[in-house]
């Protein structure tokens, strides 16, 4: 991994619990869609975040879930707000887009796991790929789905991409599914044989997903998520 200094261009809230961060690296570096970087808080404290922008973008985008009650990510937001530059280490992660594969893709995000998925979708768009892709994004409420506008735009603009927003609690006029994310996937898929699956979210959700997917025929060599390195 490279150590790179970045100018902090923007730290703005999507809502009361998620921040959009834009960094301008002093030196360009190569990464693959779906990889992550680490914010260097100190020599012994390096905190990982998915890169939400696609390779080749001028700025690096991060989505940091930092409700006031969550001290660990909020410390990062406060450091970014109060600094002009920050050091990062990048790239890292093995769950990057296998863009040469022509298998249909299932993209699954829980909460700010959407940042990981965003990079992958935007890389597919940049490459002009039209591989059938289903994107499931699960959140607690519609308000928590902080960037659903861009996902709905993709759904409208690209016939090959199908966005399925899933929330646990929703008003009557909600345009999406009201369910638990994994329960919705189990309703919608009988078998996962033949899919490339990319997943990001809280570790307990990702671990539960893998157990469920094993019962649905998942080919684990085609199941990608950096969480799996930590939840063996």
Q: 154 — phi, psi (to 5°)?
A: -60, -45
User: Is the bond preceding residue 54 a cis peptide, omega within 30 degrees?
Assistant: no
Helix, strand or coil, per DSSP, at residue 73? helix
The tokens describing 28, both together, are: 């360009």
Neighbour order of strands in the sheet with 105-110? 177-178, 161-167, 133-139, 105-110, 196-200, 223-224
pLDDT at residue 68, rounded to an integer? 66
Residue 92: CB atoms within 10 A of its CB come to 15
Q: What is the pTM of this model?
A: 0.96
Cα separation, 104 vs 21, whole angstroms: 31
Q: What is the DSSP letter of 56?
A: T
Beta pairing partners, 136? 108, 164
Q: Spell out the per-residue pLDDT of the chain, length 232, in tens.
A: 789 999 999 999 999 999 999 999 999 889 999 999 999 999 999 999 999 999 999 999 999 998 766 788 999 999 999 999 999 999 999 999 999 999 999 999 999 999 999 999 999 999 999 999 999 999 999 999 999 999 999 999 999 999 999 999 999 999 999 999 999 999 999 999 999 999 999 999 999 999 999 999 999 999 999 999 988 7
pLDDT at residue 2, rounded to an integer? 87
pLDDT at residue 90, rounded to an integer? 96
For residues 192-227, one letter each, b for 16 or more C-beta atoms within 10 angstroms of the residue's C-beta and e for the rest, the string is beebbbbbbbeeebbbebbeebeeeebeeebbbbbb
For residues 138-175, one letter each, b for 16 or more C-beta atoms within 10 angstroms of the residue's C-beta and e for the rest, the string is bbeebebbbbbeebeebbeebeebebbbbbeebeeeee
Q: How many helices (H) and strands (E) would you count in the chain? A: 5, 12
């Amino acid at each position: 991994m490279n150590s790179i200094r970045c100018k902090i261009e923007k730290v703005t809230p999507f809502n009361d619990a998620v921040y959009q961060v834009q960094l301008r690296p002093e030196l360009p570096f190569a990464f693959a869609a779906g990889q992550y970087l680490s914010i260097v808080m100190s020599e012994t404290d390096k905190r990982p975040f998915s890169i939400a922008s696609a390779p080749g973008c001028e700025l690096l985008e991060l989505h940091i879930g930092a409700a006031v009650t969550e001290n660990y990510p909020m410390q990062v937001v406060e450091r970014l707000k109060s600094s002009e530059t920050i050091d990062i280490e990048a790239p890292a992660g093995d769950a990057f887009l296998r863009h040469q594969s022509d298998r249909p893709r299932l993209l699954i995000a829980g909460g700010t796991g959407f940042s990981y998925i965003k990079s992958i979708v935007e890389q597919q768009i940049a490459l002009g790929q039209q591989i059938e892709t289903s994107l499931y994004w699960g959140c607690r409420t519609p308000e928590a789905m902080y960037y659903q506008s861009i996902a709905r735009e993709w759904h409208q603009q690209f016939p090959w991409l199908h966005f399925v927003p899933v929330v646990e609690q929703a008003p009557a006029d909600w345009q999406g599914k009201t369910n638990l994310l994994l329960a919705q996937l189990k309703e919608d898929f009988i078998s996962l044989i033949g899919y490339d699956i990319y997943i990001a979210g809280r570790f307990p959700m990702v671990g539960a997903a893998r157990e469920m997917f094993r019962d649905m025929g998942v080919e684990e060599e085609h199941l990608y998520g950096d969480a799996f390195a930590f939840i063996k």
